[in-house]
Amino acid sequence: MIHAIGVDLGGTKTAAGVVSGAGEVLFSATIPTLNRDGGEAILNATAALVYELTSRARANNLGIVGVGVGSAGVIDAGRGVVVSATDAILDWAGTELAAGLAGRLGLAPESVRAVNDVHAHALGEAWTGAAAGTSSSLLVAFGTGVGGSLVLAGTPVLGHRYVAGHLGHIASPFAYSRGRALPCVCGRAGHVEAIASGPAIREAYVRLGGSPEVPDTRAVFGLAHDGDAAAATAVRDAATAAGQAVGGLANVLDPELLVVTGGLADAGELWWKPMEAALRAELLAPLAGMPVRPAALGNTAAVIGAASLVLNPPSSVEDLRETL
């Protein structure tokens, strides 16, 4: 059986694993992402991580056919280049991710492939997770940010400029306070990420009169569970905004299955129930029975999905671009 290395390169940590041709993570390792040190330092550290796992695989008589990477940022999947990125990783934009890793590891350029990390997550769930066996699935992630990916016949829809999936940056009627659109991290305002992301829940709690001493979103959820009215409203509004946005997207895209994931999706019924209620209220009548599932693979989804770029590649790299 063939094997590949899958890499999930995020803003705070980088996880990688040896993945079998059946989509099983055999062993893995994690390092902090050197997000203040620039692209070259990150490539050096990631290459060292991949080399460590490759050596371990060879010691167990496992051949590695290539490396797949799911990375933060807008990724040109045809060239394996970071097109743009937020300040979560400094000097990441412009990094030649695939070629840089291939050169450091002594691999042929075509042996390393890369996509955005949410697309990698969706690929993992479509291969062996919650959407396994479906012809199409829409994965939506709600956490520090909001993103998504539509997978058709095993291939993520990346868009002509590789920006597809940034669903956190669609308008939401919930993203307003006192008649003014809430600012979004992208520089615009009134977007769903400004009300439905994890950090947005804490900000909403404070706007609703909650104490600014409450440190983070996890604490807001704890207060909501204890009956704090401002916390409960902040969580409910965020979940409702999330569900409305996903339902609207489902009306446009009509996937076979919806997968909802991320830190907020893992927070329990306090978030999930109002999210799903709003989602189903938004669906057109022919979509009323659309399955909505939580993700199944947890932290390994993006590692498995990234490895699938090598283990289950499209007929050509350009297929990743041309599936619109």
pLDDT at 320 over 60: no
Return the H-helix or E-strand segment holding 18: strand 13-20
Q: Where in the chain is the domain with CATH 3.30.420.40?
A: 3-124+299-322, 135-295
pLDDT at 232 over 80: yes
- How many Å is the maximal CA-CA distance in the chain? 63
Residues above pLDDT 70, as percent of the chain: 97
Token readout for 191 is 């977007």
Torsion of CA 291, 301, 224, 209, to 10 degrees: -110
Closest CA to 8 of 96, 120, 113: 120
- DSSP conformation class of 265: G
What pLDDT is recorded for position 324?
38
Q: Quick: pLDDT tens for 67-105.
A: 999 999 999 999 999 999 988 899 999 999 999 999 999
What pLDDT is recorded for position 124?
98
Rounded Cα distance between 274 and 224, Å, is 14
Average pLDDT over every residue of 163-188: 96
Going by C-beta distance under 8 Å and a sequence separation of 6 or more, which residues neighbour residue 128?
Answer: 22, 23, 24, 297, 304
What pLDDT band is residue 309 in, cutting at 50, 70 and 90?
A: very high
What pLDDT is recorded for position 1?
87
What pLDDT is recorded for position 289?
97
What pLDDT band is residue 314 in, cutting at 50, 70 and 90?
A: low
Tell the CATH superfamily of the 3-124+299-322 domain: ATPase, nucleotide binding domain (3.30.420.40)
Q: Quick: pLDDT tens for 253-302.
A: 999 999 999 999 999 999 999 999 999 999 999 999 999 999 999 999 99
Identity of residue 34 = L
What pLDDT band is residue 316 in, cutting at 50, 70 and 90?
A: very low
- DSSP conformation class of 182: P
Which residues are registered as beta bridge partners of 187?
none
What pLDDT is recorded for position 317?
46
- Locus of tokens 């339902």: 247
Arithmetic mean of pLDDT over the chain: 95
- Would you tell me how many other CB atoms lie within 10 Å of the CB of residue 268? 11
What pLDDT band is residue 319 in, cutting at 50, 70 and 90?
A: low
Q: Where are the alpha helices (DSSP H) in the chain?
A: 39-59, 97-105, 117-128, 193-196, 198-207, 217-225, 229-253, 269-282, 301-311, 318-322
Query: With respect to CATH, is domain 135-295 assigned 3.30.420.40?
Result: yes
Q: Quick: pLDDT tens for 33-60.
A: 999 999 999 999 999 999 999 999 999 9
Least confident of 116-120, 307-311, 316-320: 316-320
What pLDDT is recorded for position 313?
85
pLDDT at 315 over 70: no
pTM for this predicted structure: 0.95
Collect contacts of 37-42 with beta carbons under 8 A, ≥24 apart.
37/90, 38/90, 38/91, 38/92, 39/82, 39/91, 39/92, 39/94, 39/95, 39/100, 40/95, 40/100, 42/9, 42/14, 42/89, 42/92, 42/95
φ, ψ at 274 (rounded to 5°): -65, -30
